[in-house]
Structure 1
Amino acid sequence: MSKEFEIVREFEVDATPEEVWEAITNGTGGYLWPMEAPEPRVGGTAAFGSTVAAWDPPHHLTIRSEDVGFSVQSVNQLEHVIESRDGGRRAWVRYVHSGIFTDDWDNQYDGASRHTDFYLHTLREYLTHFAPRPVTFAQLDGPEASKAPDALTAVERALGLADDTATGARVTVRGPREFDAVLDYRNPYFVGLRTEGALVRIFGRNHWGAPVGVSVHDFAADADAKANESAWQGWLDGVFSP
């Protein structure tokens, strides 16, 4: 049965409204993933066949699609309202994700809501630590076995994260190679790792019946997307190998 949804978040960030606007419109994958940048006008085209419904830089952006192409969703809208704080040195952001889910409403809403928190946290990490550096983006999914209920826990243990390692801790990570990082996000659904040159995001999508996913936002000048993808794919597959 079709049912509307609305996910609303508000936050402040140590960035100017102009910097926030650039981050959410450049489409490079600095905090989300590479996609078509919106055409800078009302009625313009945007990613995945959507349309620009509001365009007032750097204060108001709305992207809307009424032909989403997903079997469980028919309408999707993303709205950002951005205001200046502290004489322009900081920004306040109101984010609203709304639309219509046509099936599996509770599960779809839960996944969208929890992903929203993680994506917006990553936006703040990007703005605070890396913008406007160029980014090299890679993403991948684990094998079928990573759909298991305890899959994210298995990944955390393979990374060397203790059960009581809390957000904000500095950790030595046993990924494709050993590296030092800040554990910038952790809950039962997601893990965020920040190094001096990258954001590594781990998605416990096993909670919603999908494989565990990994994205790497690499800001090093010599970053290699294929090498990052291959290294993390091999590591993640190995976590779930018999």
Structure 2
Amino acid sequence: MRKDASGRRSVEAEVEVPGSPEEVWRAIATGPGISSWFVPSELEEREGGTTVSHFGPGNSMDSVATITAWEPPRRFSAEAPEDMGPGSPKVATEWIVEARSGGTCVVRVVHSWFASTDDWDNQFEGHMHGWAAFFRILRLYLAHFRGQPCAAFQLMGAGSEPKAATWGALIGPLGLAGAAEGQRVSAAAGAPPFAGVVERAGSSEHPELLLRLEEPAPGIAHLFALPMAGQIFLPIRLYLYGDRAPAAAARAEPAWQAWMAERFPVRAPG
């Protein structure tokens, strides 16, 4: 995190991805593009427009911002009041696309805010770890599924400490225990059907799996464990691509929801 004398603080993350500036811009600066690797989103493609990202069910988990600069296919920025919760500072987010040789671009996201205390620093630094994971999905999407229609869904389960035990209780019955990068995997008996290749296997400290799917349709699956509020949350996101993606998602989502609800019900805080 950077600080300057004016009280401005900022954090940033970047990734090199395949594609022309125009192709990358469509992925990061349109509603369908963002929804193909991030969370369900809408974006009005103009200065003064609104961008909304849906991080969960209901409006309470929406992130809403106003676009303050719009310079396709190079840069846009947006401002969100209290994006980290009540009383949090206004956050300005800038997206930058820089062309590189060899048909690639660098995508950079910068969050900045003004504050007189360090109260929000850890949360913003935590944001960068989240961007690193989503940028891996972005790179995979642009490498294999660029421009294809997407049907995506999100799941959430929760278990108790310790993290390793809850993570093991998720990936074992799925048939993913011990999965290594480059390994072909498929669903265990009784699990929702899937098959593909492991693109990333996280460490025991930061459990994560990123799969490039062949079934239930060509796509991406991302699973990880997140300690929060005394529980271990288990977010799962599936992004399916191509003409058969909507039908495949319509079949797969109920199966995944039922499987997760039976094993990892999310309890209310308190």
Pairwise mapping of residues 219-238 of structure 1 onto structure 2 (< 5 A)?
219-222=241-244, 223-224=246-247, 225-238=249-262
Alpha-carbon distance in structure 1 between the residues aligned to 2:89 and 2:191: 39
Distance 2:108 2:207 in 1: 23
Structure holding more strand per residue: 2
Q: Does 1:44 align with 2:49?
A: yes
Asked if 1:192 corresponds to 2:192, the answer is no
1:12 positional shift: 1.6
Question: How far off its partner does 1:199 sit?
Answer: 1.0
- 3-state SS of 2:89 partner: strand
Aligned residue in 2 for 1:118: 133
Shift of 1:207: 5.4
What secondary structure does 1:50 align onto?
strand
Which has the higher relative contact order, 1 or 2, with Cα contacts under 8 A spaced 6 or more apart? 1
SS in 2 for 1:213: strand
Percentage identity across paired residues of the two chains = 31
Name the SS of the counterpart of 2:44 in structure 1: coil
Aligned residues of 1:138 and 1:226 also touching (Cα < 8 A): no
Q: How does 1:78-93 map to 2 (within 5 A)?
A: 78-86=93-101, 89-93=103-107
SS of residue in 1 equivalent to 2:133: helix
Superposed CA offset, 1:191-234 (max 9, x none): 21111311111131235646211111111423244433211122
Matched, 1:9 2:13: yes
Q: Which ranges in structure 1 are unaligned for 5 or more consecutive residues?
A: none
Shift of 1:100: 6.8
Residue 5 of structure 1 deviates from its aligned partner by 5.4
Partner SS, residue 112 of structure 1:
helix
Unaligned segments of structure 2, at least 5 residues: 1-6, 53-62, 266-270
> Using the alignment, how far apart are the partners of 2:168 and 2:66 within structure 1?
39
Q: Is 1:171 the equivalent of 2:195?
A: no
Letter in 2 for 1:113: M
Q: Indicate the residue corresponding to 1:157 in structure 2.
A: 172
Letter in 2 for 1:170: R
Deviation string 1:10-36 (CA, Å, 9 cap, x unpaired) is: 322111111111011221210012212
User: In the alignment, which residue of structure 1 is the partner of 2:145?
Assistant: 130
* Alpha-carbon distance in 1 for matches of 2:160, 2:141: 28
Which residue in the other structure is 2:56 paired with? none
Alpha-carbon contact 1:172-1:178 (below 8 Å) kept: yes
Query: 2:38 aligns to what?
Result: 32
Amino acid at match of 2:256: W
State TM-score, norm by structure 2.
0.74
Q: Which sits farther off after the overlay, 186-195 or 167-176?
A: 167-176
Give the distance between the partners of 1:237 and 1:132, measured in 2 at CA: 33
Q: 2:59 aligns to what?
A: none
Give the match for residue 202 of structure 1.
Answer: 223
Amino acid at match of 1:79: E
Give the 3-state SS of the residue equivalent to 2:38 in structure 1. Answer: coil
Letter of the aligned partner of 2:224 in structure 1? Answer: F
The one-letter code of the counterpart of 2:27 is A
Any conservation in 2 of the 1:72–1:103 contact (CA below 8 Å)? no
* Distance of aligned partners of 1:230 and 1:83 in 2 relative to their CA distance in 1, 3 Å threshold: same
Give the secondary-structure state (helix, strand or coil) at the position aligned to 1:68.
coil
SS of residue matched to 2:127:
helix
Letter of the structure 1 residue corresponding to residue 219 of structure 2: A
C-alpha RMSD over aligned residues = 2.9
> How many pairs align?
235
Distance of 1:27 and 1:141 partners within structure 2: 23
Work out whether residues 17 and 104 of structure 2, in 8 Å CA contact, stay in contact via their aligned partners in 1.
yes
Q: Give the corresponding residue for 2:72.
A: 57
Following the alignment from structure 1 to structure 2, what is the Cα–Cα distance between the partners of residues 24 and 33? Answer: 12
